[in-house]
Amino acid sequence: MGCFLLLFWTLLLGSLLLGQSVSPSPGAKALLALLGSAQGSSRSVLESSWNASQGDPCSGWIGVECSSLRQVVSVSLAYMDLQATIPAEFGLLTSLQTLNLSSANISSQIPPQLGNCTALTTLDLQHNQLIGKIPRELGNLVNLEELHLNHNFLSGGIPATLASCLKLQLLYISDNHLSGSIPAWIGKLQKLQEVRAGGNALTGSIPPEIGNCESLTILGFATNLLTGSIPSSIGRLTKLRSLYLHQNSLSGALPAELGNCTHLLELSLFENKLTGEIPYAYGRLENLEALWIWNNSLEGSIPPELGNCYNLVQLDIPQNLLDGPIPKELGKLKQLQYLDLSLNRLTGSIPVELSNCTFLVDIELQSNDLSGSIPLELGRLEHLETLNVWDNELTGTIPATLGNCRQLFRIDLSSNQLSGPLPKEIFQLENIMYLNLFANQLVGPIPEAIGQCLSLNRLRLQQNNMSGSIPESISKLPNLTYVELSGNRFTGSLPLAMGKVTSLQMLDLHGNKLSGSIPTTFGGLANLYKLDLSFNRLDGSIPPALGSLGDVVLLKLNDNRLTGSVPGELSGCSRLSLLDLGGNRLAGSIPPSLGTMTSLQMGLNLSFNQLQGPIPKEFLHLSRLESLDLSHNNLTGTLAPLSTLGLSYLNVSFNNFKGPLPDSPVFRNMTPTAYVGNPGLCGNGESTACSASEQRSRKSSHTRRSLIAAILGLGMGLMILLGALICVVSSSRRNASREWDHEQDPPGSWKLTTFQRLNFALTDVLENLVSSNVIGRGSSGTVYKCAMPNGEVLAVKSLWMTTKGESSSGIPFELEVDTLSQIRHRNILRLLGYCTNQDTMLLLYEFMPNGSLADLLLEQKSLDWTVRYNIALGAAEGLAYLHHDSVPPIVHRDIKSTNILIDSQLEARIADFGVAKLMDVSRSAKTVSRIAGSYGYIAPEYGYTLKITTKNDVYAFGVVLLEILTNKRAVEHEFGEGVDLVKWIREQLKTSASAVEVLEPRMQGMPDPEVQEMLQVLGIALLCTNSKPSGRPTMREVVVLLREVKHTSEESSALKVSTPVIASQKSSHSEVLEVSSV
């Protein structure tokens, strides 16, 4: 019996010991569960340390600390690549005090079981991919001091249970998708020291109870959707060092009580809707280093008391409605480095006392109403890099003392009333890159010392009263790209050595009194795209070497005293769009080689010279040319070489032409003033009748041409119509009844990819895909307006795909979209993300509240010319970015007015870029691609080449310009069968006495300068819609041409050049349209 009992107890003890060795502790169980879910590169590191067979995490496991009782009290795996989920088993770690999984690639919800870890003092899960809501069970963590949940994808509201965490000191929940309001119970957490909740979608107002958290040092609610006023109770937070409330919709006045927060270092309130005055009490913030209140609606004057903020480094309050003077007390800010008071209504002078701020780096005072002189004492600012005081009413001279500011690289004093000479000391600044002094009243010469500014990039002195010669030393500047000296009184000859400045891209010297000949060395300016020497007193011959300017687009030598012949070598300017040689004393014949310059588009002006001989037959090749002026010469022969040109403006008056006027559209609709002074001409209303044989010849030729054109047009129309019909039928069958089905398409079957932090979940998008939310349909899919629970509104485009394939190059569909997501331009609609399942792709875009350009035009909204022009220019810049700056380049393939969306600031945003390509990628390689474009916007050549190039986009953009000008759609019933807007416009121009008649009637009554600008844009539209692709400009050239029409705000000068793109047929040489300078 005794032996039996001994055996029994031995077996029992052995089994107990065996059970203890194989059953892991709660700590081991939790950690091994985490390890089991890990898929990242750090898994192997943990496996080598976390020995499951031992079952004891207190035996040296990496990242684990234990108490003396061998209980896990700390798990710290920060910055490891775990790619894991937080297991529910972590709730077993009841002694855990610190859990740090920050930046560990965790992608799960926060398990509510963490609420069982009541000993926790630090919970750090920041910088992961956590989703779902913050568990209410975290309110059980009554010992919690630090909660770091920032930079995740958490949603929902801030749980009310956190009010129980009375020991909480750090609350970091920024950069998530949290919504709802800031709870009033936050005032109970009186030990809070830092709250960071920015970058969410929090709504409502800031609760006044926040003032009870008197231990706060950092309070951040920036970049949310907060409204209401800033509570005055924040003034009780006397320990506060940083207050971040920027980029909300806060309104009301700035609370004066903030002046009690004397420990404040940073006060950031920019981009809100704050009103009222800046409280003088802020002068008590002696420790303040940064004050950012820009882009609000603050009024009143700048309080002098701000001068008591002795530690201020940045004072940034532009874009408000502030008035009154700049307080001289700001001169007491000895630490100030950045001062920006621009875009206000400030008056008075620039205070001399600013020179006491000897650490100033940047002074921005532009766009105010400042007067008086620029203080000499600013020369003491030896750290100054930028001085912007343009667009004011400043007078006096430019202080020579600025030459002491050795770090200056940008000086912009333009658009003031400054007078006197340029101080030579300015040109001793070795770092100066941008010197903008235009639109003043400066006099005297350019100092020879300019040759010392080796960093100078832009020299803009136009619209002054400067005189003297252009110094030879300017040729020593190797980085010079823009020289604008027009509208002055410069004399003397052009510097020979300037031809060595090969970096030059623009040289504009027009409107001076320059004399002598044009240096042959100018032919070496290989990068020049604009050369304007017009309206001077230049003589001698035109150097043939100018034909070497391969990149020049605008060449203007008109209104000088040039003699000799027109050099045929100019045909070497292969990109030339505008050549103006009018108003000179040129003789001889027109060189035939000019007829080979197929790049000529904007115009060719040879008027008011002494040219002889016939028009070269090679002029038949100038198919792109829109404006031709040969008037006031001694030309002879017939006008037959011009018979086939599609000109919008032609003037051949006062020559010696003879014979019949060609029976072509441009001649049939010419007014007599365009060919008066040619006694030998006959027909078309001339008193001299043509012979019967001449009339028969003209009629036969016209009939043959009409028949050929009709046959080609009919064939083209049938091809496009057939292709469009096939596409629409196929698309309608494919896209029918595609709303989201919860049962057939559960959320788990979808994949969401985002390109920025989004404040909503995938299901929020899917639930909006119902027919009542459809705002547009097209051959590529359906567009839905989707309102998210947080108030955000998206435009979701559903693309229907037959297969989830690859491009012809083997690039997966998702990678094609990722490429599109890299596009970042202010005039291109931003792609926020996309969702995919087996047969559908959803593209997520920003929602544009003003709809499309087509909507605005259709609703007959009163869009003034400036708005229309800005929309056109913005769309052109966006499209040029896709063509020329995107890597790889992107052809839009469906430019139209419905794909140009308008944001809240009436700026253009190009939409659907790349969608046509995506549709082709999604199809099998054996499937024929859909038609590229929409009817009325399709370039003529596409019907027979089926090739897609950037010139297709250019043509479509030209149609959009015509829509903007006429307020007519690309295809209208009134045009007649088979006639689109382009054909209708060209017919109207042939039959109208003035091009003005094709503009929208409301636009015709606008001031003459604006009407002239519209005509310039009309000419650009006609260039873009040239029937031949080679005759169309690139989009980069279109942007240049549009900027020529009117300066943007940055290029605000009023320089003019003098050759028309398109004009009324009644214009004379002295009344030609003007194009603003780039």
pLDDT at 564 over 60: yes
Marked catalytic residue, from 124, 559, 629, 894? 894
Measured in whole angstroms, the distance separating CA 191 from the mean position of its chain's CA atoms is 45
What is the phi/psi pair of residue 610, to 5°?
-130, 40
Give pLDDT tens digits for 655-689.
999 999 998 878 877 778 888 999 999 876 444 55
Would you state the pLDDT for residue 271? 86
Cβ-proximal residues to 809 (8 Å cutoff; 6+ apart), any chain: none
Query: Pick the residue with more confidence: 19 or 184?
Result: 184
Would you state the pLDDT for residue 1065? 32
Q: Which residues share a beta bridge with 660?
A: 682
Would you state the pLDDT for residue 797? 85
Distance CA 639, CA 646 (A): 14
pLDDT at 643 over 50: yes
Query: Pick the residue with more confidence: 601 or 542?
Result: 542
**Band of the pLDDT at 194, cuts 50, 70, 90?**
very high
Give pLDDT tens digits for 252-278.
999 999 999 999 999 999 889 999 999
Query: Pick the residue with more confidence: 67 or 731?
Result: 67
Residue type present at position 276: G
Residue 918 has, within 13 A of its CA and on its CB side, a CA count of 28
Distance CA 505, CA 530 (A): 7
The token pair at 223 is: 């970049």
Distance CA 792, CA 776 (A): 19
Mean pLDDT confidence for 910-931: 48
CB 640 within 8 A of CB 620: no
* Cβ atoms within 10 Å of 904's Cβ, excluding its own: 8
**Ranges 213-217, 497-501, 678-682, 757-761, most confident:** 213-217
Query: Pick the residue with more confidence: 94 or 7?
Result: 94
Q: Where are the alpha helices (DSSP H) in 654-691?
A: 665-668
Closest of 119, 126, 120 to residue 148, by C-alpha: 126
Residue type present at position 910: I
Q: To the nearest 10°, the Cα dihedral for 72, 78, 84, 90? A: 20
Would you state the pLDDT for residue 37? 93
Would you state the pLDDT for residue 334? 95
**Band of the pLDDT at 1009, cuts 50, 70, 90?**
confident
**Band of the pLDDT at 772, cuts 50, 70, 90?**
confident
Mean pLDDT confidence for 173-200: 94
Give yes or no: 391 in active site: no
Q: pTM of the predicted model, to two decimals?
A: 0.66
Q: Is the dihedral of CA 632, 635, 636, 641 positive or negative?
A: negative
Distance CA 248, CA 251 (A): 9
Share of the chain above pLDDT 70, in %: 83
Would you state the pLDDT for residue 748? 54
pLDDT at 479 over 60: yes
Averaged confidence pLDDT in the chain: 83
Mean pLDDT confidence for 476-496: 93
Give pLDDT tens digits for 227-244.
999 999 999 999 999 999
Distance CA 421, CA 103 (A): 61
**Ranges 76-80, 830-834, 940-944, most confident:** 76-80
Distance CA 72, CA 738 (A): 53
Mean pLDDT confidence for 78-96: 94
Measured in whole angstroms, the distance separating CA 312 from the mean position of its chain's CA atoms is 33
pLDDT at 161 over 70: yes
CB 332 within 8 A of CB 356: yes
pLDDT at 54 over 90: no
Would you state the pLDDT for residue 1054? 34
Distance CA 774, CA 413 (A): 52
Closest of 453, 514, 515, 447 to residue 487, by C-alpha: 514
Q: Based on C-alpha coordinates, what's the Rg of the chain?
A: 37
What order of strands is seen across the sheet that includes strand 489-490? 419-420, 441-444, 465-468, 489-490
Q: Is 135 left (phi over 0), alpha (psi -120 to 50) or beta?
A: beta
Cβ-proximal residues to 952 (8 Å cutoff; 6+ apart), any chain: 891, 893, 932, 933, 938, 939, 942
pLDDT at 885 over 80: no
Closest of 780, 804, 784, 806 to residue 795, by C-alpha: 784
Query: Pick the residue with more confidence: 780 or 140?
Result: 140
Cβ-proximal residues to 524 (8 Å cutoff; 6+ apart), any chain: 499, 500, 502, 545, 548
pLDDT at 810 over 50: no
| 797 assigned ligand-binding residue | yes
Lowest-pLDDT choice from 277-281, 680-684, 891-895: 680-684
Helix (H, G, I), strand (E, B) or coil at 218: strand
Q: Where are the alpha helices (DSSP H) in 312-381?
A: none
**Band of the pLDDT at 756, cuts 50, 70, 90?**
low
Q: Is the dihedral of CA 863, 865, 866, 872 positive or negative?
A: positive
**Band of the pLDDT at 165, cuts 50, 70, 90?**
very high
Would you state the pLDDT for residue 970? 87
CB 82 within 8 A of CB 107: no
Mean pLDDT confidence for 104-117: 94
Would you state the pLDDT for residue 1061? 40
The token pair at 915 is: 């969608």
Mean pLDDT confidence for 712-718: 47
Distance CA 140, CA 318 (A): 47
Q: Where are the alpha helices (DSSP H) in 630-789?
A: 665-668, 692-735, 762-766
**Angle of CA points 403, 408, 414, to nearest 5°:** 85
pLDDT at 290 over 50: yes
- Domains in the chain and their CATH numbers? 747-1046 (1.10.510.10)
Q: Is the dihedral of CA 1022, 1027, 1028, 1029 positive or negative?
A: positive
Residue type present at position 417: Q
Share of the chain above pLDDT 90, in %: 56
78-93 b/e (C-beta count within 10 Å ≥ 16 → b): eebebbbbbbebbbbb
Mean pLDDT confidence for 1056-1063: 35
Would you state the pLDDT for residue 625? 86
Distance CA 165, CA 167 (A): 6
The token pair at 396 is: 């006096």
Give pLDDT tens digits for 396-445.
999 999 999 999 999 999 999 999 999 999 999 999 999 999 999 999 99
Residue type present at position 314: Q
**Angle of CA points 966, 971, 974, to nearest 5°:** 75
Distance CA 176, CA 224 (A): 11
CB 196 within 8 A of CB 172: yes
> What does the DSSP assignment read for 574-591?
TT--EEE--SS--EEEPP
Would you state the pLDDT for residue 1071? 24
What residue ranges in 376-508 does DSSP mark as E strands? 386-388, 410-412, 419-420, 434-436, 441-444, 458-460, 465-468, 482-484, 489-490, 506-508
Distance CA 262, CA 294 (A): 22
Give pLDDT tens digits for 736-752.
334 555 444 555 567 77
**Band of the pLDDT at 841, cuts 50, 70, 90?**
confident
Would you state the pLDDT for residue 580? 95
Would you state the pLDDT for residue 320? 93
pLDDT at 1073 over 50: no
Distance CA 707, CA 713 (A): 10
Mean pLDDT confidence for 307-329: 95
